[in-house]
């Protein structure tokens, strides 16, 4: 529904993209998650160099936090899934 083709969706699941700006946003989001929010100045400079404003950087952080919260909540509550499941790609541990 977002206009992404199957290959771009698969890349997104892996935290990658063919679009340079989206790729930078995903890399920053992965850094926020991996570093538990304690990103470096280099992480911030890289995402801003890709064209993101301070406000957009905050939105990326907020979306990471919201998704972590939602995943934790859903792991505890185990809600019924009432929409088609997305095809996921197995990640290496």
The boundaries of the domain holding residue 72 are 7-77
Residue 65 lies in a domain: yes
Mean pLDDT for 12-22 is 91
Whether 89 is in a domain gets the answer no
Does the residue 11 lie in any domain? yes
- pLDDT at residue 37, as a whole number: 96
pTM for this model (two decimals): 0.80
Inside any domain, residue 39? yes
**Position 22 in a domain:** yes
Residue 35's alpha-carbon distances to 18, 28, 39, 43, 61, in angstroms, are 24, 10, 6, 11, 12
Q: Is residue 25 part of a domain?
A: yes
Q: What is the pLDDT of residue 88?
A: 66
- Give how many domains the chain has, as a whole number: 1
């Amino acid at each position: 529904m977002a206009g992404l083709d199957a290959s771009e969706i698969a890349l997104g699941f892996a935290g990658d993209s063919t679009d340079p700006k989206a790729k930078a946003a995903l890399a920053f989001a992965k850094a926020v998650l991996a570093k538990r929010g304690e990103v470096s100045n280099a992480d911030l400079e890289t995402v801003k160099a890709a064209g993101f404003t301070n406000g957009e950087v905050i939105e990326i952080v907020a979306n990471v936090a919201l998704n972590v919260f939602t995943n934790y909540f859903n792991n505890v509550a185990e809600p019924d899934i009432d929409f088609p499941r997305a095809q996921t790609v197995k990640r290496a541990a």
